Amino acid sequence: MPVGVPAHLQNSWESYYMEILMVTGLLAYIMNYIIGKNKNSRLAQAWFNSHRELLESNFALVGDDGTSKEAVSTGKLNQENEHIYNLWCSGRVCCEGMLIQLKFLKRQDLLNVLARMMRPACDQVQVKVTLNDEDMDTFVFAVGTKKAMARLQKEMQDLSEFCGDKPKSGAKYGLPESLAILSEMGEVTDGVMDNKMVHYITNHADKIESIHFSDQFSGPKVMQEEGQPLKLPETKKTLLFTFNVPGMGNTSPKDMDALLPLMNMVIYSIDKVKKLRLNREGKQKADKNRARVEENFLKQTHAQRQEAAQTRREEKKRAEKERIMNEEDPERQRRLEEAAQRREQKKIEKKQMKMKQIKVKAM
């Protein structure tokens, strides 16, 4: 090496091999991003093309992003990011609307692609149908793979409250062994699992992850913060379907056609749920269940609500005392104190009156 040449010019390109590796890695990442994003986009389009006719013949509005002034079908999917697409359909009898989410694998993220080589996963299509009050009677029901049922029973607010028994094997109702059922009562299962549903589910069991019908749907259980009284979660009558796209990740656009019969099943379910009504006994049981859940909830939170009310009262008192203390004019201070004392006295008298009244009534 010639003397006097600065150090960084002495190094040949070969010594920068780590840097070259880094840049190559980045280029690979970018290439994978482009390829993956395009693949997901093609899969989404293929899904929409094969389902478009069915959806357009069932819904007045197919495709909406909520931003346009007029309620006009956009006729295309909303892209949430490079692996999630959604489609909103509305304007049909027996339901409020249907949100379809195409949850593809993160093919655009090389890290995810590598992780999936060790733990295979598949693309999913999730269909959520929201119903009006008159579109569904009161029941909670779910059917799906054993693993999914076990997981949902733990995670979902309504399934854990209303379907407490262990998932029953689907074989009892003519379904494959691999599927299990969670139900609020036997009558519901008999009602939902008619011949056509059993037929649909059996023929496409490999693509069904879970099917969840509920009038008390409020999503997964929410983690309660310490000492915060919770209101009963808001519920919505919902039908939730989660389908697995065949191919376990190695999906091609033509695999999307295989999902079409499942969408037929969804439409069939919407009409079926509208007609499914519990008999008198079943309705009584269902009403009792709902009343029981509400009561339990109120009992559990009773202590918390009492505590919260107590703290609120104490806070008020303290704030008032502080105000009086901070009052600089001694004359006003004295008057405020007297006023506060009088209020306290009145409250005590009122309480005593109430107690007397209760005693008289008891006698």
Q: Quick check: 319 binds other proteins (CB under 8 A)?
A: no
The Cα 68–Cα 81 span in angstroms is 20
Q: Quick check: 17 binds other proteins (CB under 8 A)?
A: yes
Residue 179 makes CB contacts below 8 A (sequence gap 6+) with: 143, 144, 145, 146, 169, 170, 201, 205, 208
Q: Give Cα 8 distance to the centre of its chain.
A: 57
Element (DSSP H or E) covering residue 246: none
User: Judged by CB under 8 A, how many residues of this single chain contact other proteins?
Assistant: 45
- Tokens for 257? 């056609």
Nearest to 75 by CA among 85, 90, 86, 61: 61
Element (DSSP H or E) covering residue 253: none
From the list 53, 80, 194, 295, which residue makes contact with other proteins (rule: CB under 8 A)? 80
The count of other CB atoms within 10 Å of the CB of residue 156 is: 25
Q: Quick check: 5 binds other proteins (CB under 8 A)?
A: no
The region of 64-72, 207-215, 299-307, 324-332 touching other proteins under the rule CB under 8 A is: 64-72
The answer to whether residues 135 and 95 touch, using CB atoms and an 8 Å cutoff, is yes
Q: How far is the CB of 241 from other proteins (least distance, A)?
A: 17
Q: How far is the CB of 70 from other proteins (least distance, A)?
A: 10
The Cα 50–Cα 47 span in angstroms is 5
From the list 22, 325, 339, 355, which residue makes contact with other proteins (rule: CB under 8 A)? 22
Q: Quick check: 119 binds other proteins (CB under 8 A)?
A: no
* Touching other proteins, residues 216-245 (CB under 8 A): 219-220
**Nearer to other proteins among residue 78 and residue 202 (C-beta):** 78
SS (H, E, C) 182-218: EECCHHHHHHHCCHHHHHHHHHCHHHEEEEEEEEEEC
Q: Quick check: 61 binds other proteins (CB under 8 A)?
A: yes
* Touching other proteins, residues 120-179 (CB under 8 A): none
From the list 53, 65, 295, 349, which residue makes contact with other proteins (rule: CB under 8 A)? 65
From the list 40, 44, 51, 64, which residue makes contact with other proteins (rule: CB under 8 A)? 64
**Nearer to other proteins among residue 26 and residue 248 (C-beta):** 26
Q: How far is the CB of 347 from other proteins (least distance, A)?
A: 39
From the list 59, 104, 173, 241, which residue makes contact with other proteins (rule: CB under 8 A)? 59
Measured in degrees and rounded to the nearest 5, phi and psi for residue 101 equal -115, 125
Q: Quick check: 109 binds other proteins (CB under 8 A)?
A: yes
The count of other CB atoms within 10 Å of the CB of residue 336 is: 17
Q: Quick check: 52 binds other proteins (CB under 8 A)?
A: no
Nearest to 219 by CA among 162, 270, 158: 158
Classified as helix, coil or strand, 6 is coil
Q: Quick check: 310 binds other proteins (CB under 8 A)?
A: no
- Residue matched to tokens 């991003």: 33
The region of 6-14, 286-294, 299-307, 313-321 touching other proteins under the rule CB under 8 A is: 6-14
Q: How far is the CB of 250 from other proteins (least distance, A)?
A: 20
Which spans of this chain sit near other proteins (rule: CB under 8 A)? 7-8, 11, 15-19, 22, 25-26, 29-30, 33, 57-61, 64-66, 71, 78-82, 88, 90-94, 96-97, 99, 106, 108-111, 219-220, 271
